[in-house]
Structure 1
C-alpha cells in the first residue's frame, strides 16, 4: 500500500468500513473496532491517522503494530485472519493499515473475563451486537434455504409491519403475546429466509420487510 492510497482512504473520513486511531493506546478497546469491521462488511483500521483524517503518522509504528497484533491474537475469538501494511512518512514516523476481511468465521467476539461480546458497525460507530444479530451472523456463514411455518404470530407480525413499516423484538413479543425467546427465534428465522431485514441500533434493533 502506498502513502497516496492511505491519504485517499483517510480523505473519505470514518465510516462503515474505516476507522482511524492516532495510536494503539488502550488496544483492548481498539479490538472492538476490529471485531465490528469483521462482523459487518470488513474494512480498514488506520493507526497514525487523526480523527479528522489528517495522516500525521506515529513514531515507531512497528511497536504500535506489535501491540495491536498481540491484542487481536489474545482477545478475539474465533481467531481472525487479517493483513497489515506499513507506510512510512519519514525515518521515524509511519502509518499502519490493518485490512480486516468480511470474515467467513463471524461472529467474532471480544473475550472479557467470563463473558464474550460481539460488536458490529453502525455507520461510523462500533456498537454491541444483540443476540439476534449474533444468530443472523452465524446463520449467514453457511447460507441455506430456511423453512418456516406461517401461523398466528407471523400473521400478527406482517400486519404490524404493514401498518408501521418496522417493529422491534419487544413490540413483536407484546403484540403476538409470546415469550421474548420465541419472538427472537421467529424474527431471526425470517431474516435468514430473506423475508425480513434486521437494522442494528445502539439502543434497540428494529426489523423491516426485505426490499
Structure 2
C-alpha cells in the first residue's frame, strides 16, 4: 500500500471494516477491534491515524507492533490470522496497517487478563465493536458450519412475521412477550430464523435487534 492508497482509505472514515488508532496505548483494548473484525466480515486497523483523519504516524513502529502482537498472543483465543503492513511516511513516522480477514475459526474471544479462562466475544457493527450476545455467538458458530437450516412455521412464527410487517424490528424480550415464550424457546426461534435467512440480526451496545431480511 502506498501513502496515496492510505490517504484514500482514511478518507472513507471509520466503518464496519475500518478502525483508526493514534497509537497502541492500550493494546488489551485494541485487540477487541481485531477480534470483532475476525468474527464479522474482516477489516483493517490503522495505527498512526487520528480519529479526525490526520495521519501523523508513529515514531517507533516496531514497539507498537510488539505490544499489540503480544496482547493478541496472550489474550485472544483461539488464534486468528492477520497480516501487518508498514507504510513509511517520513524518516521519523510510519503508519501500520493490520489486515484481518473473516476467520474460519470464529467465534474468537478476548480474555480480560492472562489468568482468565474465559473471554468475551466481540462483533463489528457499523464503526463500533460490541459484545456479542449468546444468540449472536450461536449464529456465528452455526453459520461457520454452513448447513441447511429447517424450522417449523407455526403460531409463534406467524405472530412474529405479522409484528415485523408493522413494527419493522423486534428484540428478544419483545418477542418473548409477544409469543408468550420462555427465554430458551424465544432465543432458539430467533436464531433459527436468522440462520434460515428469514431474519437479519443487528448487534448493538443495548442488545440485538431483529428485522425481516433485507429490511434495515
With structure 2 as the length reference, what TM-score do the two structures score? Answer: 0.93
Matched with 2:179 is 176
Structure 1 residue 44: Cα displacement: 0.6
Structure 1 residue 188: Cα displacement: 0.4
Structure 1 residue 162: Cα displacement: 2.3
Cα distance in 2, alignment partners of residues 165 and 10 from structure 1: 34
Cα distance in 2, alignment partners of residues 16 and 195 from structure 1: 23
Matched with 2:72 is 72
Unaligned runs of 5+ in 2: none
**Residue 119 (structure 2) pairs with residue 116 (structure 1):** yes
Unaligned runs of 5+ in 1: none
Find 1:210's aligned residue among 194, 201, 213: 213
For 1:49-198, list aligned pairs within 5 A: 49-112=49-112, 113-198=116-201
Deviations 1:171-191 (A, max 9, x none): 111111111121011100110
Q: CA RMSD in A?
A: 1.3
Cα distance in 2, alignment partners of residues 208 and 14 from structure 1: 25
Q: Residue 178 of structure 1: SS of its match in structure 2?
A: coil
Q: Residue 130 of structure 2: SS of its match in structure 1?
A: strand
Q: Residue 68 of structure 1: SS of its match in structure 2?
A: helix
Deviations 1:3-54 (A, max 9, x none): 2221211121111111111110110000011111112221110111111111
Cα distance in 2, alignment partners of residues 189 and 82 from structure 1: 31
Structure 1 residue 202: Cα displacement: 1.4
Matched with 1:45 is 45
Q: Residue 20 of structure 1: SS of its match in structure 2?
A: strand
Moved over 6 A (4+): none
Q: Residue 169 of structure 2: SS of its match in structure 1?
A: coil
Matched with 1:17 is 17
Structure 1 residue 151: Cα displacement: 2.0
Structure 1 residue 90: Cα displacement: 2.1
Q: Which moved more, 1:121-130 or 1:18-27?
A: 121-130
Cα distance in 2, alignment partners of residues 209 and 109 from structure 1: 28
Q: Residue 13 of structure 1: SS of its match in structure 2?
A: coil
